[in-house]
Structures are given as C-alpha cells and as structure tokens.
Amino acid sequence: MNIQRRTRSAVSRFAVKILFGYVESETPPRCRNPRLVRREDGECTIRIPVLTDAEAPIALIACGKDLFSDLTWRVEYRWWKNRLWTSVNVDANSQPRGRSAQSDDWAWPAWRETVDLRADGSNKSLEFGFDAARYDSKAQTVRSIKRLQQEHVIINGTPHRPTRERGYRVTTFGLGGNHGGTGLFVEPVVDTRTAKSKGMFNLLDRDKAIAYGERVARERGDTQSLPMTVNSDVEWEILLPEVLRIPRR
C-alpha cells in the first residue's frame, strides 16, 4: 500500500491513482469552429484517510439475526469528523445488505493503488460508488473524483463509508380504527428536521418510543397494533451517546 505517513497536523493517507476519460472543446486544424473531443488520458490522485482506533472510535454497535438464514451479525459504527462510518453496506434497519441483488457482498471493497474508470467510456465505478457525467470536462471530472476523499476512509486496514444515525420512528398508516395501523420502526435520520420531528426517538429512548407508539395506536383505535413492539430485531449498544443528534425525550 502506498501510504503517506501522518504528520502532527494530518492523518495518514492511502494514495490511489484514478484513470478517467473526459471531453474538451477543441478546434481541429484547418477548422474554424470548435467541437467536443473525447479524451481517455485523464489521470489524477486521490488520498483516502487511513485512521486508527483512537482516531475513529466505535460509537455504536448493532447486533441482530438475519431473517432468512438465522445467522447472527454485528456492525460497528465508528465516529470520525462528525459522521458515522461502517465497513459494510447496511439497510435502513441497520442490517448488512449485499451491494448486488441476492448476494452477500455487503463488505465495502478494498482500494487498489490504481482504479480505471474508463470502461465503456462511462467514468463509472459501482465498486467504489462513483458516477461522473460522461461529457464533463477534465476539470469537472477531477473535481467529482476528488470528492471521493470525503466519502471513504480506511480504519484498521478496512474500508469504511459514511452512514446515517438511526432512531425509532412511530408511523401511522390509513385512517385508523385498524384500517391501516400504527407501527414503530428503526429508520435513518435524513436531516436535522427529521431528527427533531415528534415521532422520532433517540436510540436510548426505546421504552419511551414504545409508550408513545401505544398512545398513538390507542388514540387512533388501532387495537390490532397493540401491544406495541419495535418492528426490528436489532439490538443497539451505545458506547458514545454524545454522537446521537436526535434529542432525548
């Protein structure tokens, strides 16, 4: 691995050479008007942060059992630069999910020293979650590629990507009176407004979320939704409660 060692002011970084195509406006010889020309010689370097346990501590741990295989799973949520990071792809419920259909490829792929985006002239990489416009200029494409540095880190030698905080949300369906129902789910926090919404509860407030869900169900006449339970088999261990943005109740 081509790792640049840390200084007092910066973390270590893993250098990755990216090969890409781009489009430029050029005026060919003996022509007056410019035209778009496709080039395949684009090259730039990104530097993925390489972190230690101390720099990216474990903030949350989610554990559960797969509904289809009965296999148990465990996902660590690490904290760095005010974001949560995981080494696997997780669904809204926080369970590991394959990156492709009916597959167990949930672990994020390891970075290579050279990544070629030029296949089919697409400038895409499903492997690393990158998609640049086919007809962007060289400068535009480089800016898009450089943004990968903000969405990827390597912690203890393992690739990680950012994910959202989860919380308990009380959701209603239909008109009430058991025409629909009331449920309690684990959902990602999309933004600050979502975090502060009335039906959203901090992971530390599970019992309060259940009590609120029961009250809503009774008020709506959703008797078939009682007793209220969390529609999730995920168990949470909160190691750094200060990272959670959802207000406590």
In this predicted structure, the answer to whether residue 98 has a pLDDT above a threshold of 70 is: yes
pLDDT at 245: 93
pLDDT at 144: 94
pLDDT at 4: 52
In tens, the pLDDT along 80-94 reads: 999 999 999 999 989
Query: Best-predicted range by mean pLDDT among 22-26, 91-95, 177-181, 229-233?
Result: 177-181
In this predicted structure, the answer to whether residue 196 has a pLDDT above a threshold of 60 is: yes
In this predicted structure, the answer to whether residue 34 has a pLDDT above a threshold of 80 is: yes
Return the percentage of the chain with pLDDT > 90, whole number. Answer: 70
Return the percentage of the chain with pLDDT > 70, whole number. Answer: 95
Which residues does residue 186 pair with via DSSP β-bridges, in sequence order? 168
What average pLDDT is seen over the chain?
Answer: 91
In this predicted structure, the answer to whether residue 3 has a pLDDT above a threshold of 70 is: no
**In angstroms, what CA-CA distances link 103 with 98, 99, 137, 162, 233?**
5, 7, 36, 21, 21
In this predicted structure, the answer to whether residue 9 has a pLDDT above a threshold of 90 is: no
Task: Please measure the distance between the N-terminal and C-terminal CA atoms of the chain and give it in whole angstroms.
Answer: 47
SS (H, E, C) 194-242: HHCCCCEECHHHHHHHHHHHHHHHHHHCCHHHCCCCECCCCEEEECCHH
The whole-model pTM stands at 0.88
In this predicted structure, the answer to whether residue 237 has a pLDDT above a threshold of 60 is: yes
What is the mean pLDDT of the segment spanning 37-60?
A: 96
pLDDT at 1: 52
In tens, the pLDDT along 120-171 reads: 778 889 899 898 877 899 999 999 999 999 999 999 999 999 999 999 999 9
In tens, the pLDDT along 174-192 reads: 999 999 999 999 999 988 8
